[in-house]
Amino acid sequence: MTAPTLLAVAHGSRNRAARDSVESLLSEVHRQRPGLHAVGCYLDHTEPLLRDAVRALDGTAVVVPLLLTAAFHTGVDLPQQLAASPVPIEQAAALGPHPLLLRALGRRLAEAGVAVGDDDTAIVLAAAGSSDPAAVASVAAVARSWAGAGWWDVLPAYASAAAPTPAEAVAALRRRGAPRVVVASYLLSPGLFADSLRDAGADLVSAPLGDAPEVAAVVLERYDDACARLAVGSSRSRR
């Protein structure tokens, strides 16, 4: 039986680097699982749009949201768009939270010259932000779990729609006497939010997670979980 198509759906951006990042991540997905049919699409700003990718399907598919938290897009927007699918389709969970994403964050920090768990380094875990309290709480929970890795401290921050902002979190850590303050970009792609982190006043800012191997592994795990649900639903429909 042919494996379902993996539709990896990102938010979309007018920034070409954001699209390049998605394509690079899918290249890593293909490297980890050769032969899997994986297609990138977008909710807005960038083509192909999700609705067009869904119309073009000729077999079962799994939609994996390239989103780090579950919020409006995963709970409302995606289900509404997928309801019109002409073929069986299953929506996977958002990528975060997941322990592998902490490894990806550590990878990006190490690339910037920060030893993971350095007790002289305070971390601002900077996410895009959301008006959904559950999504905000999810990022805060990730920060708390990472604080146990040996850092001076880890504070969550949000580039939009929630508080504190990255600049506010950096300032709070400096007031408390943190020897060094680093922003860890809890973002998948370059773009407006990633650019804004450079103005937070930190000693350095890590790159977005992008095509880190750990992110691709999470994409595939979410895909596999959704494939299992799709198979169960298909089995029940045949009874």
Q: What is the pLDDT of residue 71?
A: 74
Supply the DSSP symbol for 77. I
Letter for the amino acid at 36? Answer: L
Plot region of 113 (φ>0 → left; ψ -120 to 50 → alpha; else → beta): left
Q: Tell me the pTM.
A: 0.93
**pLDDT at position 12:** 85
Domains of the chain: 5-96+212-237 (3.40.50.1400), 99-205 (3.40.50.1400)
pLDDT of residue 72: 63
| Res 236: pLDDT | 42
Residues sharing a CB contact under 8 Å with residue 43, sequence separation 6 or more, in sequence order: 9, 10, 11, 12, 49, 50, 73, 77, 78
Q: Is the pLDDT of residue 237 over 50?
A: no
Mean pLDDT of 22-37: 97
Contact 90, 233 (CB under 8 A): yes
Per-residue model confidence as pLDDT tens digits over 50-96: 999 998 998 999 999 999 998 766 667 788 888 878 888 999 999 99
In contact, 156 and 139? CB cutoff 8 Å: yes
pLDDT digits (tens, 9 = 90+) for 120-140: 999 999 999 998 999 999 999
Distance between CA 196 and CA 88 in Å, rounded? 40
Measured CA to CA, the distance from residue 206 to residue 185 in angstroms comes to 6
| Residue-level pLDDT at 239 | 40
**pLDDT of 145 over the 90 cut:** yes
Give the CA dihedral 118, 122, 127, 130, nearest 10 degrees.
140
Average model confidence (pLDDT) across the chain: 92
Residue 79: the pLDDT is 83
Q: Are 46 and 15 in contact (CB under 8 A)?
A: no
Model pLDDT, residue 11:
87
Determine the pLDDT at residue 73. Answer: 62
The whole-angstrom separation of Cα 127 and Cα 227 is: 28
Q: Tell me: the pLDDT tens digits for 174-223?
A: 999 999 999 999 999 999 999 999 999 999 999 999 999 999 999 999 99
pLDDT score of 74: 67
Predicted confidence band at 111 (pLDDT cuts at 50, 70, 90)?
very high
DSSP H or E stretch at residue 156:
strand 153-158
> Residue 118 gets which letter from DSSP?
-
Q: Where are the alpha helices (DSSP H) in 33-90?
A: 50-55, 72, 78-82
